[in-house]
Structure 1
């Protein structure tokens, strides 16, 4: 969803079925790689924060990963910009731009103040989160990738403040659904200093997204409990538990990946997969050939993920 805001088109199914070689029909490989980089960059940020707090150096590392091998990679990835940039429709100039970020010297000063604010104590953390994200977008410190990186910083900041135990809280679904207001509220900060409008918009999104995420988590847990007896009955196998864990971890998978389930013989796995298919627990989404493995979907979980 974060990449979709920038115009990238790739579904969850596209990403889950992409093996690095075969691009799903109707999908741009560059789009897929941008989304995969987003995930890699988020996890790289988490790993960096095991050693260091959330700092400007960590953010530069995240940016380098985010832009590696994709569109914009030659825009001085991993480094704060040294030239003036601006935001506006194609063909706009510095004079006609909708937003002109600070010049490089002023940008560096703003970044140092922004970093101090990240570590300020005694603030309301959720308001601090809203201000942190907006200020990053206003400063626009990189030549490319600022939007995606600013959205990566939302879960990383909450993780940094120990509000969440893993950096897996995503605002992008809400921001994509309200894209016009998202940009309008950010713009209003610069044009009329409307911080209250931005903070209200952002915090409403936090509530809405949190409620949706909690609902998805509960539905997933309910489905997991329900499928215990279904899969055990269908497979009649001591490996029903590990089979269930596999399809919940991999709601889209190939037969070759399934056959690598540890501790189970391939002949047994072939039989189990056949039983799952016959009982319509999983369904074929792409038939295999001699060179391409068969792709399966666990659709009940995909419905929860995509709703």
Structure 2
């Protein structure tokens, strides 16, 4: 266990330290939080993608009524609220209810009592299964409230290493399952919020949804083994391995984004004597979908000036026109979007396949306890 913990600690420290040396660290917060929002929502059945999110942020009317993308937007708003709130309110039942209220503010979960703990029995299993067919039945309401009180008390204990506590806190929350809907998404938010609350992360750069999604069955099996057999060691090893791999993947992704940014800004600079193509290219890392009026606003120029710069970037392959909606033309920052697609689909795409292919948990080397 100690070797796995040390490796996870080192990887987390490297990721946090890199945020101090990478240019524009907020750029990576922007990208990683949106990746996490999309992936965490997809685990729960949301169909919208990361690219759908970027398109919505540029052209909200493109999503249409009832789009799943609103669930991803809710996730980002809830996470940003939580990051701001932990400066005033410690992680607690109250804060968790606030996260839940914002997460389910609109969309499919809006009718599932946002911001309030459940008042009846729920169960986990295949869609439409009865409680008798469920793979797991969380505590009854009578047992849930004392369990939540104990969970809240444990949030403030610091006897164990922080990553071990995060593993325990997440597993306990998922077992209590205190809401009718949104438990998984809130439970994953709590991991990052706890690391930020204790100052382990200066910026919210660690998100585990890609790891949990890629090893989804083992994730469920490890949690269930804790409930059935008390196998905390197996779960904690699985969790720590995820931290190590995710940190390495995040750091590799940040480097890839940095290199892409440098390459494309140089390409844009070489394409014109004006600084505007390079300026807009830099802005595209926060606006991967863009319209000509938006480009003109970013550059503080006329509509024609914005159109000229966009046309320039289309010519050199930085932007690609995706569609027209009436008189509005929408352009996509394909080199960046393609990189994000690659890094959000498989951990091995960022850190190398050999390193990402995990050995079975039981084969990890550990020191005697």
TM-score (norm 1): 0.92
Compared CA separation, residues 141 and 101, structure 1 to 2 (3 A): same
Q: Give yes or no for the alignment of 1:238 onto 2:278.
A: no
Choose which of 222, 225, 229 in structure 2 pairs with 1:188: 225
3-state SS in 2 of match to 1:260:
helix
Residue number in structure 1 paired with 2:49: 11
Asked which structure has the greater RCO (Cα within 8 Å, sep 6+), the reply is 2
Q: Could you tell me how far apart the structure 2 residues matched to 1:284 and 1:262 are?
A: 19
Bigger mean CA deviation after superposition, 214-223 or 229-238? 229-238
1:240 shift after superposition: 4.1
Choose which of 52, 55, 62 in structure 2 pairs with 1:22: 62
Residue number in structure 2 paired with 1:60: 97
Contact map agreement 2:208 2:243 (CA 8 A) in 1? yes
Residue number in structure 1 paired with 2:253: 216
Cα deviation code 1:55-87 (max 9, x no counterpart) = 111110110000111112222210111212211
Gaps of 5+ in 1: none
Residue number in structure 2 paired with 1:177: 214
1:288 shift after superposition: 4.6
- Structure having the higher helix fraction is 2
3-state SS in 2 of match to 1:261:
helix
Compared CA separation, residues 29 and 168, structure 1 to 2 (3 A): farther
TM-score (norm 2): 0.77
3-state SS in 2 of match to 1:223:
helix
Contact map agreement 1:67 1:145 (CA 8 A) in 2? yes
Cα deviation code 1:181-219 (max 9, x no counterpart) = 111111111111111111111111111111111111001
Gaps of 5+ in 2: 1-38, 343-369
Q: Could you tell me how far apart the structure 2 residues matched to 1:289 and 1:236 are?
A: 33
Q: Give yes or no for the alignment of 1:303 onto 2:338.
A: yes
Choose which of 50, 71, 87 in structure 1 pairs with 2:108: 71
Contact map agreement 1:235 1:276 (CA 8 A) in 2? no
Q: Could you tell me how far apart the structure 1 residues matched to 2:45 and 2:119 are?
A: 26
Q: Could you tell me how far apart the structure 2 residues matched to 1:236 and 1:157 are?
A: 48
Q: Give yes or no for the alignment of 1:249 onto 2:286.
A: yes
